[in-house]
């Protein structure tokens, strides 16, 4: 259970890290959406490891195939299956890992839940599972169309944070560096910091910020399916995430209503706007038409190249040291994944909204 | 849409603030659970306004009736409808509010979504909607039974924060003061602060922390329905929430893997434990058996007794000043509501887990 | 579980026969639908027992109250709770029935499933549960609007069948007699037959036919949620139903393709039509624009005034004889209930269809 | 939408007839189920066309691959993706069919719904879609285990019906002939009849009967998700189905309660049984422990080798004649598909039932 997301635009994800393939089936994509494998591939390429000195050296082409739901370049309204074969799956002996529970990994909890697990590369708990999400997110972006822009970036790694940005950074600025931080000076520091952390055999966390512009007012279904609740679920469903906040977020807890409220006004185009956007684009669970603006906290990845104590599946004390190819910091690579989940939430809300009025 | 929560234990919530009634229908409660109106009433009483000098003076008995699903003191396995009539609904003229959009309220977005709204007391967007959640949460607590303890408290209001607590505070300490803060000295400061804020006609936010003890390892459905994702959705679905984090949360983004990882060991009872609990009780979306420990950020309530600029539904500039009876700080009253949603998530996960293995 | 129906227009039903109340919560009704208690009451009045010599003499006003979701005569887009109190609930001693399993009733299976049941009037398995369905169906009819007509009638009782009707009968003809059979001569025979059956202490089954006109082509979601699959589920979810067929139905199994196919043509209004409608208005799970035309088989009600052997809950042989007020034939009273479920299916499909194309 | 079935055991189906592949993703299969490709392949082989003189000559190996969710011969509790490539997809020119709507096919309704369709082999509306169902059904059968037997067979084709069978026929008897009818003399007549029908360029319908033995009492979720309602939906979701009945079914409408009721007794093993099984194994939507026994009506397939009138997508009158390889009668090949859907319903209900009691 738990591998299907969404209400109308529904994404079923599948695949283990070192099984034959990973991918997704998207049910509920409207017909008539122009869609090609290259639309999906370009997002997968952003997610792909091995692209820079600061990410894992696992090298996979991650070539996607659309197996259904598209005909003559457009969606049919039927399920879209996207498949990515795992080519790099036989490079490592997992027999040792199969017999112990790595600290802060899901080995123990998968065993507790299911009584068994696939130890190869983390199996289903691997970040490789996000391939299906990114593919589905690429389809969601096509539904949203060019009037909606969803863009994520790295706001901080460890205590290195870029200056607060009120405007949307350009995609070029974000993608210009391996840190995916649009502030060049901060990016440089982050890259150095990650390299140093890697050299020390350690890992480090950070914050991804995401901004969605162009969404109409009215999206999101109160009470339980508030737009921000759906976003929070989507983000906390990502591997290694520990927090989510929107608009003024946790900082709002330290402010007064008179400071935190956003004042409505009519802009020059006769559109209802707010002078500030401390709400982060949602009021009462419904989008206001202002930019949806949120942050996601990523912990340091659990795998480190330092020896750690742990216990074996036979309940003996043992030691483990991270091997294989791992990111010292997943935060830059999380950027397209955060965007993908945000796009899925928005596309689903957009389709749901069509049923809101008679 | 959006008024049904859960997979097996499903809660359908209904009711406007000043309509005839609020309540819920719970589908999927197992049969054989001992349940009486007093089980629900005692939680509703904790949620009820008008209990202290620092909360709204709206006084309602909020008496619940169980209309179905219970026979001879035990649940039948059939839907449980809990109803609370709105007695205090005719005390105010809402004609003015109907014609404008209050800053940082959901008036504008409900109009944007639905083309109309019930202006009386905020209608469906009122915190009164949480009555149904608390009732359902009381049922969920009965399912979880005495081996599970879910307890929330106020950790901070504005910049007044209690010292970091590693252990579960007692219910007595939490309920001993109007701030619902188990640290007496901090509670006193918070109460003074809220009184002062109220006197100034302003409002203020804060952080609720919640801890769940006694949950078995194995709950939660990766990938999309991770335990923490379900919690995040549940919490961000509450009125006035702006953030959620779990375990080391946002602080984890400023740490190293070697600092943040939790080391497994075998305790004296031959149980697998971790020496620390930076994970907050979840690994890979599944509970580890350690306490689930999370925080929820509440913004200052939007209604303040200061004049604010806004615009009318006819797009004219106007002014508004908060009237009626409002909490200057909802955070203490949010405590039982956070517990209720946590209990709903846990009960649902507990029932789902029964299907995890052949 | 199992008490929530629909995808966008979702109906949560609750209530035991002799508990405090029965009713429903409808989530996903669009805003702006004109709705009053009288819209619902008129359908409930058609369902109400005690209206004729051939139905049970249980007399209840079955007055409905709308508790939420409607403001100033129109829906808000928020959940609509409709409540009907059970006034006639204390008239009978159920202690004997509590200790045995009546033949062909759900007493045994409820005990097998839940370990307990409410014996008073059948509890949740009573046909009284359909009050919530009829209320929700009345709302669904308002969504569908005046261009859609859904009309059911009694086609046969036991072996007394009316002549095959190709056209929609008038509501007046259907409601003109206690049999709800639009063919007067057949109606008379059915009424006599039911009276005679009642006098003999027996019960009898029959077929309800339902026709939906005015639905646009394009409704229904293949593969699993075909329009006819949703209808079949809706109908087989009704008490005492044993079969469903659509269009030429079971008769189609005895025909050739060359006989059963419906030939397309363009009518005078340039609309695509079929010369016949053996499909019953659906092709490949999607409505064709022709009338949706289906039949539902109702078994004789299980309660009869003849002594039958059975066993007690303590596994002893015993005898039981039906008492209380029961319909010798539920088929006429099932007519508005079949319509209600058909309307719910159609309204849900209508709202879903809005998301079918980009 | 509409391509996901089930509540806990959820099946997402995908694939067009002549696209790259068809298959399914099963979410919610418990961990620890022994599962191999051969378990699935043997069911697919029963479904495969080209096996006898009376079925279509399209020849495909239909080799399945399990892409995820299984490790070392057992399920992991994670999604199971089963893929079958379409090898035989380029053998025909569909440009003519793309421009018209074949009588009683889904061409017109897909166009009405989605504005477009894949004309190659019927696209998503092809019976080839059932490959995913059969694969999922094979997994469901493994969950149910050897104590549950689900067996379907052909009861009639056109007006040739086998004698009424009260007992479960053997698999050998069913599979011993191309008609999949366990009564040899009837089977012979059916085969002759289908051959003759084929020679005449026509098609013919029939009835599949299915019996499920070994299910415990207590499965199924009243009210809306009654066991028979789930079955009815499952069966009416199959291509070419027009009806469903259970137990005494439509025949019950012509009987009295005193005839149709099933009398409880205690069998020699102290088990609660009924002397007859007119209920077809369900009471009040819940299984009774007796055999679940139902029938499904299949219409004659729409494709016939006779010329028929129709209209083009440009609304001109035209003619069409069935070409390609088609079954004159799908009923024998529907047998494993009916079993698969029945198994999916039963496995889902079995897993749901685990949550029924505290």
For B195-230, how does the pLDDT look when each residue is reduced to its tens digit (9 = 90+)? 999 999 999 999 999 999 999 999 999 999 999 999
Could you tell me if B247 and B282 are in contact, meaning their C-beta atoms sit under 8 angstroms apart?
yes
* Structure ipTM: 0.97
State phi, psi for B319 to the nearest 5 degrees.
Answer: -125, 155
Peptide bond into D223 cis (omega under 30): yes
Mutate to test the interface with D, among C11, C113, C263 (most CBs of D within 10 A): C113
Please tell me which chains touch C, using 3 or more CB pairs under 8 Å as the contact test.
A, B, D
Maximum CA pair distance of chain D? 70
CA distance A19 to chain C (A): 28
Question: Is a pLDDT exceeding 80 seen at residue B96?
Answer: yes
Cα of first residue to Cα of last residue in chain D, in angstroms, is 34
Closest partner residue to A103 among B101, B261, B306, by Cβ? B261
Instruction: Please tell me if residue A245 touches chain B, with a CB cutoff of 8 Å.
Output: yes
Instruction: Please tell me if residue C78 touches chain B, with a CB cutoff of 8 Å.
Output: yes
3-state secondary structure C131-185: HHHHHHHHHHHHHHCCCCEEEEEEEEECCEECCCCCCCCCHHHHHCCCCCCCCHH
Instruction: Please tell me if residue B218 touches chain D, with a CB cutoff of 8 Å.
Output: no
pLDDT value at position A89? 60
Instruction: Please tell me if residue D143 touches chain B, with a CB cutoff of 8 Å.
Output: yes
The two beta strands, C100-101 and C307-312, are: antiparallel
Cα dist. D47→A264, D59, D129, D331 in Å?
A: 63, 12, 11, 11
Domain boundaries, given as residue ranges, for chain A:
4-353
pLDDT band at B56 (very low <50, low <70, confident <90, very high): low
The verdict on a CB contact (< 8 Å) between D20 and A68 is: yes
The verdict on a CB contact (< 8 Å) between B252 and A1 is: no
pLDDT value at position C52? 73
Closest partner residue to D2 among C222, C244, C287, by Cβ? C222
Average confidence score pLDDT of chain D: 95
Average confidence score pLDDT of chain A: 95
The verdict on a CB contact (< 8 Å) between C352 and A31 is: no
What would the mean pLDDT of D193-204 be, rounded to a whole number?
96
Which chain D residue has the Cα nearest residue C196?
A: D256
The verdict on a CB contact (< 8 Å) between C357 and A77 is: yes
The verdict on a CB contact (< 8 Å) between C115 and B32 is: yes
pLDDT value at position C219? 98
Query: What average pLDDT values come out for chain C (358 residues) when binned by 10 residues?
Result: 97 96 98 98 89 67 95 98 86 85 97 96 94 98 98 98 92 96 98 96 97 98 97 98 98 97 96 97 98 98 94 95 80 98 98 96
Question: Is a pLDDT exceeding 70 seen at residue B193?
Answer: yes
The verdict on a CB contact (< 8 Å) between C358 and A31 is: yes
pLDDT value at position D282? 98
pLDDT value at position A102? 96
Establish, for the pair of chains A and B, how many residue pairs have beta carbons separated by less than 8 Å: 400
CA atoms within 13 A on the CB side of C69: 32
Question: Is a pLDDT exceeding 90 seen at residue B145?
Answer: yes
Could you tell me if A351 and A30 are in contact, meaning their C-beta atoms sit under 8 angstroms apart?
yes
Instruction: Describe the crossing of helices C331-353 and C227-236 by its angle, rounded to 10 degrees.
Output: 150
Q: Sheet harboring D80-85: ordered strands across?
A: D4-5, D10-15, D21-27, D80-85, D64-66
Place of tokens 């070539």: A63
Question: Is a pLDDT exceeding 70 seen at residue B117?
Answer: yes
Please name which of A111, A158, A343, A324 lies closest in space to residue A234, comparing C-alpha atoms. A343
pLDDT value at position D48? 85
3-state secondary structure chain B: CCCEECCCCEEEEEECCCCCEEEEEEECCCECCECCHHHHHHHHHHHCCCCCCCCCCCCCCCCEEECCCEECCEECCCCEEEEEECCCCCCCCCCCHHHEECCCCCHHHHHHHHCCCCCHHHHHHCHHHHHHHHHHHHHHHHHHCCCCEEEEEEEEECCEECCCCCCCCCHHHHHCCCCCCCCHHHHHHHHHHHHHHHHCCCCECEEEEEEEECCCCCCCECCCECHHHHHHHHHHCCCCEEEEEECCHHHHHHCEHHHHCCCEEECCCCCEEECCCCCCCEECCEECCCCEEEEEEECCCCCCCCEEEEEECCCCEEEEECCCCCCCCCHHHHHHHHHHHHHHHHHHHHHHHCCCEC
Choose between C134 and A49: higher pLDDT.
Answer: C134
Which chain C residue has the Cα nearest residue D123?
A: C284
Burial grade of A342 (CB within 10 A; 0-12, 13-18, 19 or more) = buried
The verdict on a CB contact (< 8 Å) between B242 and A246 is: yes
pLDDT band at A54 (very low <50, low <70, confident <90, very high): confident
Instruction: Please tell me if residue D358 touches chain C, with a CB cutoff of 8 Å.
Output: no
Under 8 Å CB-to-CB from D277, ≥6 apart: which residues? D247, D262, D290, D291, D293
Per-residue pLDDT reduced to its tens digit, A316-328: 999 998 876 678 9
pLDDT band at D56 (very low <50, low <70, confident <90, very high): low
What would the mean pLDDT of A171-200 be, rounded to a whole number?
97
What would the mean pLDDT of A232-259 be, rounded to a whole number?
98
Could you tell me if C42 and C63 are in contact, meaning their C-beta atoms sit under 8 angstroms apart?
no
User: Which residues of A are less than 8 Å from B242 in CB distance?
Assistant: 245-250, 252-253, 280
Q: Which class is domain B4-353? A: alpha beta
User: Which residues of C are less than 8 Å from D356 in CB distance?
Assistant: 1, 113-114
State phi, psi for C44 to the nearest 5 degrees.
Answer: -65, -35
Instruction: Please tell me if residue A19 touches chain D, with a CB cutoff of 8 Å.
Output: yes
pLDDT band at B324 (very low <50, low <70, confident <90, very high): low
The verdict on a CB contact (< 8 Å) between A355 and C33 is: no
CA distance C27 to chain A (A): 11
pLDDT value at position C49? 76
CA dist B254 and A206 (Å) reads 7
pLDDT value at position D326? 74
State phi, psi for D245 to the nearest 5 degrees.
Answer: -145, 160
Q: Sheet harboring B100-101: ordered strands across?
A: B100-101, B307-312, B317-321
A11 has which bridge partners? Answer: A5, A26
CA dist D134 and D138 (Å) reads 6
Question: Is a pLDDT exceeding 80 seen at residue D49?
Answer: no
User: Which residues of B are less than 8 Å from C80 in CB distance?
Assistant: 14
Window from A55-64, C213-222, D37-46, D131-140 with minimum mean pLDDT: A55-64
pLDDT value at position A324? 63
Per-residue pLDDT reduced to its tens digit, D126-164: 999 999 999 999 999 999 999 999 999 999 999 999 998
Instruction: Please tell me if residue A358 touches chain C, with a CB cutoff of 8 Å.
Output: yes
> In whole angstroms, what separates CA D243 from the centre of its chain?
13
Instruction: Please tell me if residue C77 touches chain A, with a CB cutoff of 8 Å.
Output: yes
pLDDT band at A23 (very low <50, low <70, confident <90, very high): very high
Please name which of C3, C2, C6, C4 lies closest in space to residue C231, comparing C-alpha atoms. C6
pLDDT value at position D91? 61
CA dist B180 and C118 (Å) reads 41
Per-residue pLDDT reduced to its tens digit, D91-103: 678 888 899 999 9
User: Which residues of C are less than 8 Å from B32 in CB distance?
Assistant: 114-116
Around Cβ D331, how many Cβ atoms within 10 Å?
Answer: 33
CA distance A213 to chain C (A): 20
How large a percentage of chain B has pLDDT more than 90? 89
Q: Is the dihedral of CA A14, A15, A16, A22 positive or negative?
A: negative
What would the mean pLDDT of D249-259 be, rounded to a whole number?
97
Q: Which element (helix H / strand E) includes A16?
A: none
CA distance D65 to chain A (A): 9
């Amino acid at each position: 259970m738990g591998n299907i997301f969404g209400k109308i635009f529904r994404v079923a994800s599948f695949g283990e890290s070192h099984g034959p393939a990973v991918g997704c089936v998207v049910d509920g994509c409207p017909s008539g959406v122009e869609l090609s494998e290259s639309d999906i591939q370009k997002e997968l390429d952003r997610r792909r490891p091995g692209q820079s000195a600061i990410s894992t050296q696992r090298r996979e082409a991650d070539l996607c195939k659309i197996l259904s739901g598209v005909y003559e370049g457009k969606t049919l309204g039927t399920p879209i299956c996207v498949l990515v074969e795992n080519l790099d799956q036989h490079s490592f002996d997992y027999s040792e890992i199969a017999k112990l529970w790595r600290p802060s990994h899901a080995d123990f909890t998968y065993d507790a839940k299911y009584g068994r697990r696939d130890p190869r590369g983390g199996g289903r708990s691997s970040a490789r599972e996000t391939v299906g999400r990114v593919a589905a997110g690429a389809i969601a972006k096509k539904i949203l169309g060019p009037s909606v822009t969803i863009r994520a970036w790295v706001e901080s790694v460890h205590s290195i944070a870029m200056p607060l940005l009120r405007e949307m950074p350009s995609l070029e600025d974000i993608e210009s560096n391996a840190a995916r931080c649009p502030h060049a000076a901060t990016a440089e520091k982050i890259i150095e910091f990650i390299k140093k952390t890697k050299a020390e055999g350690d890992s480090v966390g950070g914050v991804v910020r995401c901004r969605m512009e162009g969404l109409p007012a009215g999206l999101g279904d109160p009470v339980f399916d508030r737009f921000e609740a759906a976003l929070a679920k989507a983000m906390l469903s990502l591997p290694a995430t520990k927090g989510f906040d929107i608009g003024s977020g946790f900082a709002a807890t330290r402010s007064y209503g008179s400071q935190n409220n956003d004042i409505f006004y009519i802009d020059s185009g006769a559109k209802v706007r707010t002078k500030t956007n401390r709400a982060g684009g949602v009021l009462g669970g419904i989008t206001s038409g202002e930019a949806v603006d949120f942050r996601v906290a990523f912990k340091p990845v659990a795998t480190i190249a330092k020896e750690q104590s742990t216990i074996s599946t036979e309940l003996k004390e043992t030691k483990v040291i991270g091997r294989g190819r791992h990111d010292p910091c997943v935060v830059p690579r999380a950027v397209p994944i955060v965007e993908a989940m945000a796009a899925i939430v928005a596309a689903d809300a957009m389709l749901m909204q069509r049923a809101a009025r008679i």
